[in-house]
């Protein structure tokens, strides 16, 4: 298993202009001593070919793997024209991912409008992902669908497995997030779906002063990772600044130290 950083962890500092994108890469490689970076597409200062090659070279010079590129999308829109726009956007991000050398592109299934019939929109969402899969295959990039809450198509492991099995493609997998499932037993949900995950987010909500996550049981999570013999990137996605107003600069290093401690404990 390899440890990485999702750029969302520093989103407040990036959005406020207190941290540059190049500074983020330097921090991930230097201060945090991590091996990979999962880039939220909105955090890229530019998405033209010249800019992307500059970021790729910068990451290479820092011995930092661009392990995932994560654009936002919503295939739950009712209007066909709107869904088509979402598909076209993902195609462009696949081109960007190819330039960056990212093996995985994180996508979402989507969020239907609150009054919409989710079951009627489900096959239309599947159709969008299948269309994107054709381009992903040509680019040699795995589409990793992230299960999510807030009224989306995939709040539970049951919904997630239904989608993956329905699409049935080696180029469509999961970006598993340790904190997104809404199942009664979140840990069983992770265990049931980890076999489909080429990339995983290590969600952290609330760090203690002595480097412990108070919201999730990371002993159980690492036991699941070890049992599954997970060998991909486990990228920190720090949410403490939103949930508990914890300073990114102070608590992200604590979260990284925690993940490293568990990785050593479980020898993975």
Give residue-wise pLDDT tens across range 138-182: 999 999 999 987 789 999 999 999 999 999 999 999 999 999 999
Give the count of alpha carbons within 13 A of 52, CB side only.
18
Percent of the chain exceeding pLDDT 70 equals: 100
Give the domain extent around 216. Answer: 2-266
| Between 170 and 241, the higher pLDDT residue | 170
Q: How does residue 236 score in pLDDT terms, banded at 50, 70 and 90?
A: very high
The rounded distance, in Å, linking the Cα atoms of 235 and 232 is 9
The tally of domains found in the chain comes to: 1
Q: Report pTM.
A: 0.97
Instruction: Give the DSSP per-residue string, 66-114.
Output: EEEEE----TT-SSHHHHHHHHHHHHHHHHHHHHHT-SEEEE------T
pLDDT for 149 equals: 78
**Is residue 242 pLDDT above 90, yes or no?**
no
Q: Work out the end-to-end distance of the chain between its first and last CA atoms, rounded to an integer number of angstroms.
A: 6
**Is residue 261 pLDDT above 90, yes or no?**
yes
Q: Is 264 exposed, middle or buried (0-12, 13-18, 19+ CB in 10 A)?
A: exposed
**Is residue 241 pLDDT above 90, yes or no?**
no
The strand pairing partners of 3, in sequence order, are 234
Q: Is 45 exposed, middle or buried (0-12, 13-18, 19+ CB in 10 A)?
A: exposed
The rounded distance, in Å, linking the Cα atoms of 253 and 251 is 5
Place of tokens 């991912």: 97
| Between 2 and 243, the higher pLDDT residue | 2
Contact 237, 9 (CB under 8 A): yes
**Cα radius of gyration rounded to whole Å, the chain:** 18
Give residue-wise pLDDT tens across range 87-145: 999 999 999 999 999 999 999 999 998 888 999 999 999 999 999 999 999 999 999 99
Q: Is 33 exposed, middle or buried (0-12, 13-18, 19+ CB in 10 A)?
A: exposed
Residue from 157, 268, 172 nearest 219 by CA: 268
Compute CA 262 distance to the chain's CA centroid, rounded to the nearest angstrom.
20
SS3 content of the chain, % helix, strand, coil (to 5): 50, 15, 35
Q: Domain of 115: which CATH number?
A: 3.20.20.150
The rounded distance, in Å, linking the Cα atoms of 150 and 179 is 13
- Region 193-200: what's the mean pLDDT? 98
- Region 20-44: what's the mean pLDDT? 98
* Average pLDDT in the chain: 97
pLDDT for 219 equals: 97
The strand pairing partners of 175, in sequence order, are 199
């Amino acid at each position: 298993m390899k440890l990485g950083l999702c750029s969302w962890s520093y989103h407040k500092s990036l959005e406020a202009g207190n941290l540059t994108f190049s500074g983020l890469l330097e921090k991930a490689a230097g201060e945090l001593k991590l091996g990979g970076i999962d880039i939220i597409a909105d955090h890229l200062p530019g998405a033209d070919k010249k800019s992307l090659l500059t970021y790729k070279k910068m990451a290479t010079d820092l011995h930092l793997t661009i392990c995932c590129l994560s654009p936002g999308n919503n295939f739950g829109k009712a209007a066909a024209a709107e869904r088509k726009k979402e598909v076209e956007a993902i195609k462009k991000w696949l081109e960007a991912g190819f330039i960056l050398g990212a093996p995985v592109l994180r996508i979402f299934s989507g969020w239907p409008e609150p009054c919409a019939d989710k079951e009627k929109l489900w096959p239309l969402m599947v159709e969008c992902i299948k269309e994107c899969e054709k381009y992903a295959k040509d680019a040699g990039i795995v589409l990793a669908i992230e299960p999510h809450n807030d009224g989306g198509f995939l709040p539970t492991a049951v919904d997630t497995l239904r989608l993956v099995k329905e699409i049935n493609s080696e180029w469509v997998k999961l970006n598993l997030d340790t904190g997104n499932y809404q199942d009664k037993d979140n840990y069983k949900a992770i265990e049931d779906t980890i076999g489909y995950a080429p990339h995983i987010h290590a969600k952290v909500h609330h760090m203690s002063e002595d480097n412990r996550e108070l919201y999730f049981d990371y002993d159980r999570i690492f036991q699941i990772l070890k049992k599954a013999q997970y060998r991909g990137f486990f990228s920190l996605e720090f949410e403490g600044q939103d949930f508990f107003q914890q300073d990114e600069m102070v608590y992200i290093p604590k979260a990284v130290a925690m993940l490293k401690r568990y990785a050593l404990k479980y020898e993975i």
